[in-house]
Amino acid sequence: MDFDLTPEQEQLRDAVRALGNRYGHEYYVSKAKAGEHTTELWQEAGRLGYLGVNIPEEYGGGGGGITDLAIVCEELAATGSPLLMIVVSPAIVATIISKHGTEEQRKRFLPPMADGTLKIAFAITEPEAGSNSHKLGTIARRDGDDWLLSGRKCFISGVDDSAYVLVVGRTEDAATGRLKPALFLVPTDAPGLTKSKLDMEILSPESQWMLYLDDVRLPADALVGGGADVGLQALFAGLNPERILVAALAAGSGRYAIERASSYAATRKVWGGRTIGSHQGISHPLAHAAVQVELARLMIAKAAALYDAGRDLEAGTAANMAKYSAADAAALAVDTAIQVHGGNGMTTEYGVATLLGTVRATRIAPVSREMILNFVAQHVLGQEKSY
């Protein structure tokens, strides 16, 4: 069992970390507070090939896997710039198109996604359905050769900064009359598609949106894979990478918070001149948080390795566990870092409370920790389904 990165992955990690350090948390916070996007960092990461590491070489990518993309996501987060759209565009959408798109879709969308010049948002969550993706109310119906897509979506990240949104809807099976999943690539300026911003208590350059689709007319080639029978497979292809990348983002944020708190504790002196880190009331909680983050990183590595090896069932369980553990570890790390800083921890200057909303959200999205526990209880422990 090998726990080491390859030399190429080590180089990737070091290079991405160097890039992130040139921007840092102050850049991230300033963009978020100004209501702007981290465009400069995104574009430079794209030009350097980091956003396309998991995309096949024939479509302009690096030919690596989710392991490589998780490295990129985690290292940027570890420098204080957790880019949520890495989870969405390269991880979810590019994986789905790469594995289940038509050849024309691959040639059209993957190269600009690989170099960062194209972002594609992802829309699955709905106000009524919540976590129950089997009850989606977004419906596509035929109108000649076209599709008409209608429904509502909520908590859609970064759609204001994306040229397309990959919408998960349902179509009617001609043989059975039952609805089944189908994925559509929808231009964000398509007639009939409107959006409204959701006010969130999260400091992030990526906003959350409600989407309204009112008979959005789409050509036949907007359907991923070209046939409605590939929808379910295509959807599942993107969900494990989503969980793994959210876990990587959380773990990187946890590492950042611990690094900031450790540096502060090692230099801050009160009550007789000893550093506050010399007191176990400070050092033990910080060490505990560091252990939890490191354990989560091991599960992330396992989940990514299983996914890249094509062991999808095992990867599904590991991806859920990675997301669960990394989200909890990151929330603990940021909260501990704030406590270590005392009053300074709540200021913008010290750069830890600014991540509080982000890491807390990872315990909810893209799937809640309660639904993950349901999954583990049912599929790992053999318990009766509880919902």
Domain at 309, CATH number: 1.20.140.10
Number of folded domains in the chain?
3
Quick one: 188 and 252 in the same domain?
Answer: no
384 assigned to some structural domain: no
Asked whether residue 1 is assigned to any structural domain, the reply reads no
151 with 179, same domain: the answer is: yes
| Residue-wise pLDDT tens digits, 126-154 | 998 876 777 899 999 999 999 999 999 99
Domain that holds residue 12: 7-119
Read off the tokens for 361: 């959200």
pTM value is 0.97
- Give the domain-ending residue among 166, 197, 230: 230
pLDDT score, position 56: 98
- Which residues make Cβ contacts (< 8 Å) with residue 235, sequence separation at least 6? 96, 124, 133, 168, 181, 183
pLDDT of residue 352: 98
Cα separation, 28 vs 375, whole angstroms: 35
pLDDT value, residue 349: 97
Same domain, 266 and 309: yes
Domain of residue 190, CATH code: 2.40.110.10
50 in the same domain as 86: yes
* φ, ψ dihedrals at 163, nearest 5°: -80, -25
Same domain, yes or no: 169 and 217: yes
What CATH number is given to the structural domain containing 38? 1.10.540.10
Domain end point (choices 195, 230, 265) = 230
Q: Are residues 210 and 102 in the same domain?
A: no
Residues of the chain short of pLDDT 50, as ranges, are: none
Residue 177 pLDDT: 65
Q: Are residues 241 and 361 in the same domain?
A: yes
Distance CA 347, CA 57 (A): 45
CA distance 80 to 292: 19
- Say if residue 281 is in the same domain as residue 375: yes
Residue 198: the pLDDT is 98
Instruction: Tell me the two tokens of residue 354.
Output: 């600014």
Phi-psi category of 50—alpha, beta or left, where left has phi over 0 and alpha has psi -120 to 50?
alpha
Q: For residue 47, give every residue at least 6 positions away whose Cβ sits within 8 Å of its Cβ, in sequence order, or none.
A: 115, 116
pLDDT at residue 305 in the model: 97
In contact, 91 and 245? CB cutoff 8 Å? yes
Within a domain: residue 387? no
Torsion of CA 182, 316, 325, 306, to 10 degrees: -120
Per-residue tokens: 48: 């350097």
SS3 content of the chain, % helix, strand, coil (to 5): 60, 15, 25
Confirm whether 184 is domain-assigned.
yes
Residue 37 in any domain: the answer is yes
| Boundary-marking domain end, from 204, 230, 256 | 230
